[in-house]
């Protein structure tokens, strides 16, 4: 059985949310960093070219700084 690849060799693909500017339908897409929604097609109205939405992220806050703008300790989300 082959050994798992080291973390540095695993391609990380974030999940992005897109919205159709015509009908407002939203979809989630697992894609490479830097890809855009210009070639994505709406599943509701078939429009090509969706708008990428800004989404929040979840992360553990360990000190006063956070790369994701985490929630403060005691907020119930940290």
pLDDT at 54: 82
58 is a domain residue: yes
CB 32 within 8 A of CB 53: no
8 is a domain residue: no
1 is a domain residue: no
7 is a domain residue: no
User: What is the C-alpha separation between 53 and 21, in angstroms, rounded?
Assistant: 11
pLDDT at 24: 96
State the total domains in the chain.
1
Kindly give the confidence (pLDDT) of every residue in the chain, 78 residues in length, as a single tens digit, with 9 standing for 90 and above.
666 655 554 556 788 899 999 999 999 988 887 777 788 999 999 999 999 998 766 666 665 554 555 555 555 544
5 is a domain residue: no
Range of the structural domain that residue 21 is part of: 13-78
User: What is the C-alpha separation between 56 and 14, in angstroms, rounded?
Assistant: 12
pLDDT at 73: 55
CB 16 within 8 A of CB 36: no
User: What is the C-alpha separation between 78 and 75, in angstroms, rounded?
Assistant: 7
6 is a domain residue: no
Identify which of 27, 32, 55 has the alpha carbon closest to the alpha carbon of residue 42. 27
């Amino acid at each position: 059985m082959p050994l798992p690849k080291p973390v540095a060799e695993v391609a990380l693909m974030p999940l992005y949310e897109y919205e159709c500017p015509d009908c407002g339908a939203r979809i989630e897409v697992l894609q490479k960093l830097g890809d855009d929604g210009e070639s994505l097609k709406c599943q509701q109205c078939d429009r090509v070219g969706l708008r990428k939405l800004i989404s929040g992220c979840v992360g553990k806050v360990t000190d006063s700084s956070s790369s994701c703008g985490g929630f403060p300790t005691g907020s119930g989300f940290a």
